[in-house]
Amino acid sequence: MIKLNVNGKDNSLDIEPEMPVLWALREQLGLTGTKFGCGIAQCGSCTVLLDGQPIRSCSYPAQAAQGRKITTIEGLSADASHPVQKAWKELDVPQCGYCQSGQILAAVALLERKPKPTDADIDEAMTNICRCGTYVRIRAAIHRAAGGPNTAASVIHMAGLDARSSGNSEGAAA
C-alpha cells in the first residue's frame, strides 16, 4: 500500500510504487484539477505542491511522495480565497484554463519563496506552458497577489473613441 497525504487527508492506495503522483490523484482519488499535459515534466500542467515545493507530478513516483504533504488545486483553499486565486479571478487570467491549476500552484510556491518577486524572478520560476498565452495576465496577477500596485491585466487603447476602462484594463483615448 502507498500512503499519500493529499490536502491534509491520509489515503492508503493499492497502487504500484512507481505510479506517478498525477495518476494517483486523478484516477485513484478523483482529484482531476491536476492536469496531464506532457508526461515528461516539461509543461507543468500537473504541478502540485510537495511540502510546499512545486513538483511535476506526472514524473514523480507515488512512493517518493509518501510521508510528505501533497497540496493540489482543490486543497489550496476551501473557497478559492487564496490571494493567488483571488488575483487570478480579478484579472480574468484563464482562457481555456487547462494549465491554470499548475500555474497557480507554481505562483503560490514562488510567492512563498519570494514575497515580492521581480519580473526576472517570475521568468525564472514560472516555466509552465500556457498555449492560450495568458502570460501577460499571469505576470500581472502574481504582482497583484504580492500586494504590488493594482496594475491592470492588459493595456488597452480604444482608438477613435472615448477612453473606456474597467478594473481590468487601462483605457487611453486616441
Partner 1 sequence: MKRSLQPGLQRRQFLVATGLSAGGLALGFHVPAGAQAAASAGGAEVNAWVVIDPDDTCTVRVARAEMGQGTHTGLAMLVAEELGCDWSRVRVQQVTPGQNLAAKRVWRNMSTGGSRGIRESHEYVRQGGAAARIMLVQAAANEWKVPAADLSVDKGVVLHAASQRQLRFGQLAAAAARLTPPDPKTITLKNPRSWTIAGKPTKRLDTAVRVNGQIQYGIDTALPGMLYAAVMDCPVFGGKLVSFDAAPVIARRGIKAVLRVDASTVAVVADSWWRAKTALEALPIVWDEGPHARESSASIAERLKAGLTADKDVFADTDIGNARQGLARAARRVEAVYSTPFVSHACMEPMNCTALVTATKAEVWVSSQNAEGSLAALAAETGLPLEQCEAYNPPLGGGFGRRGGQQDYVRQAAAIAKQMPGTPVKMIWSREEDLSHDFYRPIGQCLLQAGLNDKGELETLALRVSGQSINALVAPHNITDGKDRRQLQGYYAEPGDAQIGYTVPNLLVEYAMRNTHVPVGPWRGVNTNQNGIYLEAFMDEVAKAAGRDPLEFRRALMAKHPKHLAVLDAVADKAGWGKPLPAGVHRGIAQFMGYGSYTAAVAEVALKGNDVTVLRIVLATNCGHALNPDQIAAQVEGSVAYGLDSLLCVSTVANGRIVERNFDTYPVARIKQMPKVETVIAPTFDFWGGVGEPTICVVAPSILNAIAAARGKPVRSLPLKNEGLRLV
Residues 48-87 that bind partner 1 (CB under 8 A): 72-74, 76-77, 80, 85
Decide if residue 98 touches partner 1 (CB under 8 A): yes
Nearest to 102 by CA among 72, 60, 134: 72
Q: How far is Cα 110 from Cα 118, in angstroms, rounded to an integer? A: 11
User: Closest separation between CB of residue 143 and partner 1, Å?
Assistant: 13
Q: How far is Cα 170 from Cα 164, in angstroms, rounded to an integer? A: 8
Grid coordinates representing 137 are 495576465
CB nearer partner 1, residue 112 or residue 124: 124
User: Closest separation between CB of residue 40 and partner 1, Å?
Assistant: 6
Q: Which listed range, 23-31, 63-71, 109-117, 143-151, lies at the site for partner 1 (CB under 8 A)?
A: 23-31
Among residues 5, 11, 151, 169, the one that binds partner 1 under rule CB under 8 A: 169
Nearest to 102 by CA among 145, 65, 54, 158: 54
Among residues 8, 40, 67, 162, the one that binds partner 1 under rule CB under 8 A: 40
For residues 88 and 101, is the Cβ–Cβ distance under 8 A? no
For residues 164 and 157, is the Cβ–Cβ distance under 8 A? no
> Which residues neighbour 30 within 8 Å (Cβ) at sequence distance 6 or greater?
none
Q: Which listed range, 63-71, 100-108, 109-117, 143-151, lies at the site for partner 1 (CB under 8 A)?
A: 100-108
Range 109-168, binding partner 1 (CB under 8 A): 122-124, 126-139, 153-161, 164-166, 168
